[in-house]
Amino acid sequence: MNILIAEHLGFCFGVKRAVDCAEKEIKNKGENLYSLGPLVHNPQLTDRLKEQGLGIIDDIKDIKAGRVIIRSHGVPLNIYKIIEDNDLKLIDATCPFVKNIQKKVKEFFDKGYKIIIIGDKYHSEIIGINGWCNNEGIIVNNKEEADALPEFDKICVVSQTTNRKEKFDEISNIILKKGKEVKLFNTICNATDLRQTACKEIAEKSDAVIVIGGFQSSNTNKLVEISKKYCKNVFHIETKNDLPIEKISKFNTIGITAGASTPEWIIKEVISTMENYNNEEDIRKALEDSVIR
């Protein structure tokens, strides 16, 4: 079995920064430490950080004291006010690229533009971004929703960082016709693009693709979607324990990729499990051959 590893996979810059930040704060000790929502959409990493002392809160009003980490997805503007009013210690690990979108949205909202966000209305990043324009942004996630938009004088369009470029282009082309003046910002993150392109490249060359990452992770699920476009046999796993070794052993070339929230140690475990299997297979075949000879 040949193993093809995607050129870009695993932690993106923003997630790595947030995890490093959390690990540093854990070491610092001091007041109780919480993240507002799970730090990353990866259950294994979340559990590990929990064991080290990082609590998770769903609502900022759940705590009266302590340190709060804002994860890479960012939060609505009003959360900063609550943190300040309650004298909580803020550790802001919002990804700088997401922060950039939030600032842009605020700037154009203040200038009277209608904000349109291309993305999933239930995703934390989008909920956070909308909170920078008083939750008055319109969130569209497909062509039909864009078609149904009314017309506006001035529109500012931004995108969820993990969107696919084709989707952004398709929807934004419709929105361009909905306003007299339309400011279009392709805020798709380069890390996403790099992972998606690398994923396509290996999927095209592989008989099967293993996508490693949280089942709830949106960017991992997008890699699954892309892989399925170019390869018939795609397996989404969270850890080495989910590896369908029996099923994949019949394929010659197997591609491996991982979502932006998948820690390196999990990727390494999967690869070494496959390599060990490969070695065992080689040894088994060599033994069989030697018996025959």
Structure token digits, residue 15? 């997630």
21 belongs to the binding site for ligand F3S (CB under 6 A): no
Q: Which residues pair with 184 in a beta bridge?
A: 157
Is 107 known to be catalytic?
no
161 belongs to the binding site for ligand F3S (CB under 6 A): yes
Q: CB under 6 A: which stretch of 6-14, 178-186, 273-281, 282-290 binds ligand F3S? A: 6-14
Instruction: Please give the Cα distance from 236 to 151 (Å, whole number).
Output: 41
Q: ∠ at Cα 211 (209, 215), nearest 5°?
A: 140
Answer yes or no: are the C-beta atoms of 120 and 126 closer than 8 Å. yes
13 belongs to the binding site for ligand F3S (CB under 6 A): yes
Instruction: Please give the Cα distance from 104 to 116 (Å, whole number).
Output: 12
Give the nearest distance from C-beta 52 to ligand F3S in angstroms.
21
What is the pairing mode between strands 33-36 and 114-118? unpaired
User: In the set 49, 139, 155, 260, which binds ligand F3S (CB under 6 A)?
Assistant: 260
User: In the set 14, 74, 119, 131, which binds ligand F3S (CB under 6 A)?
Assistant: 14
Would you give the binding string for ligand F3S spanning residues 98-117, x where CB under 6 A is met?
x-------------------
34 belongs to the binding site for ligand F3S (CB under 6 A): no
Q: Which residue number, 95 or 270, has a Cβ lying nearer to ligand F3S?
A: 95
User: In the set 35, 42, 72, 196, which binds ligand F3S (CB under 6 A)?
Assistant: 72
Q: How many residues bind ligand F3S (CB under 6 A)?
A: 13
Q: CB under 6 A: which stretch of 9-17, 138-146, 151-159, 198-206 binds ligand F3S? A: 9-17
Crossing angle, helix 13-28 and helix 43-52, to 10 degrees?
20
15 belongs to the binding site for ligand F3S (CB under 6 A): yes
Own/partner long-range contacts of 133-140 (Cβ < 8 Å, ≥24 apart)? 133/105, 133/106, 133/108, 133/109, 134/109, 135/76, 136/109, 137/105, 137/109, 138/114, 140/116, 140/171, 140/175
Binding stretches for ligand F3S (CB under 6 A): 12-15, 72, 95, 97-98, 161, 189, 191-192, 260
* Positions marked active-site: 125
